Chains A and B, each alone.
Chain A
Amino acid sequence: MLTKEESYIFDLAQNPQHAGELVDATLTLEGANLSCGDEIVLYLELSNDVIASAKHSSRACAVCVAGAEMLIEEIIGKEVKKTLEITNEEIIKKFPIELSPTRQKCATLALQTLRGLKKT
C-alpha cells in the first residue's frame, strides 16, 4: 500500500503538468543518470534573461519526474541567474518522503540538467 505521501509523488509523476515539448524553446538541455538510465530534456523559453516558460520530457522514474515538475514550478518567472542558485537540498526538501542518496540523484536530475545553462 502506498502512503499518502508516496501517492502524492506517484500522482505528480503520472499526471505531470509541465510535461511535453516547447515549440518555441530558446534552449534545450539534456540530462541523464547513467547508473539507472533516467533521461530528461528541459525546454526553456527565455525572455530578457527570465524563464518565461518551461517544460520537460522525461523517460524516468516517479521521483525524477516529480523533481522536474517541482523544479519547473520553481523557475518559471525567475531570472536565469537566480535559478542557478537553487540547491539540491531545496528540491529534496519539497519531497514529502525521505529520499535515499540514490533517489536524491533522481530527484535532482532536472536541476542538474538546468545547471547545463552555465555552459551555454
Chain B
Amino acid sequence: MIRDAPTSPAPRQLSRRTLRQVFWRSLFLQAAWNPKGMQNLGFAYALYPALAELYPDAAKLAQATERHLCCFNSHPYFAATIVGGAVHHEERIAQGEEPPEAVNAYKQSLMGPLAALGDGFFWLSLRPACGAVASLVALGLVSAGKPLAAALAGVGTYLVSYNAVHLAMRARFFAQGYLLGDAVVERIAASRLAAIGQRLRVLATVAAGAAGGLSALALPWEPQHEPWAALGAAGLFAACHGALAKGISPYLLAYAATALALCFGLFF
C-alpha cells in the first residue's frame, strides 16, 4: 500500500533542535518495553517534542500523543526510520494535508517488514560476525598472555566495527524516514542488506571455528602431544557442533563436556 502511494515531502516545520531531540529520545525506544503495547510508550516518548511543537493546542496535542500509544514493535534500529516517517506524517496532519489515520497506517505497514530486515541483518549477521572476530582476537591475545592488548584489541574490534555500521545507519534511517516519508521503502528495498548479511554469517562461522581451535591451547598437554591436541581439538569441536545440531541444549553440552574433562584431569 505504501509503495503505491508515495507522498511528496511536506514543507519542513520543525526546528533542527526538535529533530535532534526526537532522535535522541528514540534511543530510549525500549526503556519501558511491555507485553501489551510493546514499544508504544517509547515511541510516544520519542515523538513528543515534535508533537508539542506541531500542536500548540493542548487538546490536539493530547489527541496526537494518544495516536502513538497504540501497539508498536519493530527492530530498535530500523524503528528510527518509522520515527522519522511518523514525524513527516504528523507535519502533514498538522497542516491538514492528511487524515490522522495516515500515520498509524504508515507505522503498522512498516513495523513488521523492517523488524524482519533488522533482525536478519543486525542481530543474526552483523553482531555474530563482529562478536566472533573480536572474541577470536581477544582469546588469541589472552593465550599469548597479553591482557591489555587482548582487552583493547578485542573490545576495540567489536565496538568500532559494529557501531561504525550501526550508528551511521541509525542516523541515516531517521533522516531518510523524515525527509522521504513513505518513499523511504524504496530506498530500503534497494539496499543489499540480505546479501551482505549472508557474507557476514560466513565470516562469523569461520571466526567461531578458529576460536574453537584456540581452545586446544587451554588444555594442559605435554609438549610431545601437541599434534594430537590439535587434531583432538578439531575433532571435539566437530562433535560439539554435531551435538548442538541435533538439538542438545548448549548448557547440557557445556556441563557434560566439562564434567568429562574434569574426570580426565582428576584421574589421568
A, B assembled together: no
User: Which residues does B use to contact A, with CB under 8 Å?
Assistant: none
**Partner-B contacts on A (CB < 8 A):** none
